[in-house]
């Protein structure tokens, strides 16, 4: 009976920690705190040095759970990444996630050797453990502040963070093996192992993705089992590749990338289920890692840990970014932001469990240093990342709230799905004949009555509208159901066509347009920065003014406006004169076409 009672107690504590972790996400979103920090804190408070008093030191279970959780998180990252988003960002992101990881590890090794008195391989192991970044935390912090990163910068950060975990995992494992074997000749072993991990990871990831997409579309599973099948298959791809000494993390990310860019049945149910599972994986992994930490054992490691963190954040990461991005034409501001966006997260603490699991001498040192580096990064970057994006002008102001959307898969095909939107007060007027040609209104629910498109006419507040659309175009429909009062605002502005060149606007209004943007039209500039998904209300700031999207047709900006900063309101007469000159120039260009 004692075993039954203990089992019930374990279930109670485990479920309670997940519930508290879930509710804490509301606190994190409200105050801008990184979610990882909140989850880690819950685990620490529940641990042996906290009020919870739970003694947990099972590194084997942590590694198994952490591996499965990371596999699901990486698969979800690939599932949501669109091939078009990677345009112009794949090469720099891949360089950062491979050579950049090795370069960061080597630079941090020097600081670790000096501050901790370690040998080269031990210092390199410290560097490998803290070399990877956390994409989920970075993107959450930016979006929580109402910002959207420019297309290329955002894609580089997301792809790098999603793909640098395999390199960091591989380097950590090979270094632990070398230290356990007492070998000091690491060069050839690292290169040979890296080649094998890379080749097998790519091969099994791509093949597994195509096979999984084929099976989803061909096998008729009972309702609700497609998402479960996908999650289990992702872990199978990871584990199978890892057993054959390939990079399971790289394989599972590539599998998700392939699946996400193929026509797929039950895509809405799969992505919705993955939202929940990914959140659960993050909560469970972070809380478990927090439980492993004993705060009293961190005292001796605080000063050297802070030294390693300072070197990594201020020197190691920026040096790596500037070297890796040198051939790709990134501006100084973009390089500075990518350097500052090197947020360290759960992967670093997870990797620090590997030396503990292997019984490596001094393993607690690696774990404690990793924990201090991660917490420092979260505290420093967590509350400054959005500010840095604004100050460095690498993000678009995106004031629009995402509309509610419900997706329903249609059995027997994968080309269309049924999407439902509630129509909010203030939404721009919509009726069936104003929809894009690829979207078809099926029915409208109004005050409990089901109406056809012709009978419904113009959509009214509190209607529910159901539309038939290709799954890959659903996000384009979102813009139709954003609130009009959030788009237009109250301030005076100077409108102009989307085909006006930024260089012309800069000359007439005295705006500091970067040379690389001068030949872009307004429409092209927003298309480049938003992955061809501009929306009314988005802005690009140039000096004392901002260019704001007013109207979008077929994915292109057709009408924009120039808004003055409040302190420049006194220059209105000068701007009006420039606006009239620009309007005349636009009419002349139209007349000559």
Predicted local confidence at residue 399, as pLDDT: 47
Predicted local confidence at residue 20, as pLDDT: 66
Predicted local confidence at residue 575, as pLDDT: 44
The residues, ordered by sequence, that sit 6+ positions from 25 with a Cβ below 8 Å of its Cβ are 35, 38, 279
Contact 525, 519 (CB under 8 A): no
d(C-alpha 82, C-alpha 473), whole Å:
12
Nearest to 59 by CA among 370, 281, 353, 365: 353
Give the residue carrying structure tokens 């105050």. 31
Domains for the chain: give ranges and CATH numbers. Answer: 2-397 (1.20.1530.20), 406-481 (3.30.70.1450), 491-592 (3.30.465.10)
In the chain, the largest separation of any two C-alpha atoms, in whole Å, equals 90
Q: What is the pTM of this model?
A: 0.69
Burial class (CB in 10 A: 0-12, 13-18, 19+), 267: buried
Predicted local confidence at residue 225, as pLDDT: 82
DSSP states along 166-232: HHHHHHHHHHHHHHHHT----HHHHHHHHHHHHHHHHHHHHHHHHHHHHHHHH--PPTTHHHHHHHH
Predicted local confidence at residue 320, as pLDDT: 95
H helix or E strand, kind and range, residue 407: strand 406-409
d(C-alpha 42, C-alpha 287), whole Å:
6
Extract the tokens encoding 385. Answer: 């990342």
The residues, ordered by sequence, that sit 6+ positions from 160 with a Cβ below 8 Å of its Cβ are 93, 96, 97, 100, 133, 135
Predicted local confidence at residue 190, as pLDDT: 64
Residue 401: count other Cβ atoms within 10 Å of its Cβ.
11
| Residue 501, helix vs strand vs coil | strand
Nearest to 156 by CA among 531, 534, 557: 531
Contact 263, 473 (CB under 8 A): no
> Between the CA of residue 516 and those of 5, 326, 529, 547, what are the distances in Å?
68, 16, 13, 17
Contact 285, 58 (CB under 8 A): no
d(C-alpha 88, C-alpha 95), whole Å:
13
Could you list the pLDDT tens digit for every one of the 593 residues in the chain?
Answer: 566 766 776 677 667 766 765 665 555 555 545 566 777 788 888 877 778 777 777 888 888 888 888 888 888 878 877 776 676 788 898 899 889 999 999 999 999 999 998 888 899 999 999 998 875 566 556 655 556 777 778 788 878 877 787 788 888 888 888 888 775 555 566 667 667 878 898 999 999 999 999 998 888 777 678 888 999 999 999 999 989 988 888 899 899 989 988 877 777 778 778 777 877 787 787 788 788 888 888 888 899 999 999 999 999 999 999 999 999 888 898 899 999 988 887 788 888 889 988 888 888 899 899 989 988 988 888 778 878 887 887 876 554 455 667 777 666 666 777 888 888 765 555 767 667 777 888 899 998 889 888 888 888 878 888 888 887 677 667 766 765 443 333 444 567 778 888 887 777 666 788 887 888 888 888 887 776 678 777 778 777 678 888 888 877 888 888 776 544 444 444 444 444 445 445 444 444 43
The 3 state secondary structure assigned to 434-492 is HCCCCCEEEEEEECCEEECHHHHCCCCCCCEEEEEECHHHHHHHHHHHCEHHHHHCCCC
> Between the CA of residue 487 and those of 434, 539, 552, what are the distances in Å?
19, 11, 12
Characterize 49-61 residue by residue with b for buried, 16 or more Cβ atoms within 10 angstroms of its Cβ, and e for exposed: ebebeeebeebee
């Amino acid at each position: 009976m004692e075993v039954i009672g203990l089992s019930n107690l374990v279930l109670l504590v485990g479920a309670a920690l997940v519930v508290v972790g879930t509710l804490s996400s509301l606190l994190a979103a409200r105050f801008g705190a990184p979610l990882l920090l909140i989850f880690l804190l819950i685990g620490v408070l529940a641990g042996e040095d906290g009020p919870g008093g739970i003694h947990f030191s099972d590194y084997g279970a942590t590694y198994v759970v952490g591996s499965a959780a990371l596999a699901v998180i990486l698969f979800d990252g690939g599932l949501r990444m669109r091939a078009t988003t990677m345009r112009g960002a794949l090469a720099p992101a891949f360089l950062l996630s491979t050579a950049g990881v090795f370069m960061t590890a080597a630079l941090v090794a020097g600081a670790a050797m000096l501050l901790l008195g370690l040998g080269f391989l031990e210092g390199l192991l410290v560097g490998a453990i803290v070399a990877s970044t956390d994409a989920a935390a970075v993107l959450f912090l930016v979006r929580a502040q109402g910002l959207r990163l420019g297309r290329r910068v955002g894609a580089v950060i997301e792809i790098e963070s999603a793909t640098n975990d395999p390199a960091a995992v591989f380097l950590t494992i090979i270094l632990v093996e070398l230290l356990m074997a007492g070998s000091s000749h690491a060069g050839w072993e690292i290169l040979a192992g890296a080649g094998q991990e890379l080749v097998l990871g790519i091969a099994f990831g791509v093949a597994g993705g195509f096979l999984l997409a084929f099976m989803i579309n061909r096998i008729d599973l009972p309702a609700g089992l497609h998402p479960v099948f996908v999650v289990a298959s992702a872990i199978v791809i990871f584990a199978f590749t890892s057993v054959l000494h390939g990079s399971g993390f790289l394989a599972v990310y590539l599998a998700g990338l392939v699946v996400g860019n193929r026509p797929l049945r039950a895509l809405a149910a799969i992505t919705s289920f993955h939202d929940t599972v990914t959140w659960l994986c993050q909560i469970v992994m972070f809380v478990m890692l927090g439980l492993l930490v004993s705060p009293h054992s961190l005292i001796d490691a605080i000063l050297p840990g802070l030294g390693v963190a300072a070197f990594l954040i201020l020197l190691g990461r920026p040096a790596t970014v500037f070297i890796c991005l040198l051939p790709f034409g990134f501006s100084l501001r973009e390089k500075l932001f990518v350097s500052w966006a090197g947020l360290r997260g759960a992967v670093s603490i997870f990797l620090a469990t590997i030396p503990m699991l292997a019984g490596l001498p001094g393993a607690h040192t690696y774990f404690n240093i990793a924990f201090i580096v991660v917490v420092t990064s979260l505290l420093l970057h967590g509350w400054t990342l959005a500010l840095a994006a604004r100050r460095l002008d690498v993000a678009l102001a995106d004031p629009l709230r995402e509309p509610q959307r419900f997706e329903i898969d249609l059995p027997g095909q994968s080309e269309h799905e049924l999407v439902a939107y509630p129509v909010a007060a203030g939404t721009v007027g919509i009726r069936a004949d104003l929809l894009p040609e690829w979207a078809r209104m099926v029915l409208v629910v109004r005050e409990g009555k089901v109406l056809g498109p012709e009978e419904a006419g113009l959509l009214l507040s509190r209607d529910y509208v159901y539309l038939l659309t290709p799954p890959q175009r659903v996000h384009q429909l979102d813009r139709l159901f954003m609130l009009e009062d959030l788009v237009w605002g109250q301030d005076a502005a100077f409108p102009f066509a989307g085909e006006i060149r930024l260089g012309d606007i800069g000359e007439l209004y005295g705006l500091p347009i970067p040379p690389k943007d001068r030949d872009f039209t307004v429409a092209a500039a927003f298309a480049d920065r938003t992955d061809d998904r501009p929306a009314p209300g988005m802005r690009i700031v140039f000096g004392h003014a901002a260019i704001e999207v007013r109207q979008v047709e077929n994915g292109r900006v057709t009408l924009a406006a120039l808004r003055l900063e409040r302190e420049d309101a006194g220059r209105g007469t000068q701007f009006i004169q420039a606006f009239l000159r620009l309007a005349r120039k636009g009419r002349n260009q139209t007349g000559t076409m």
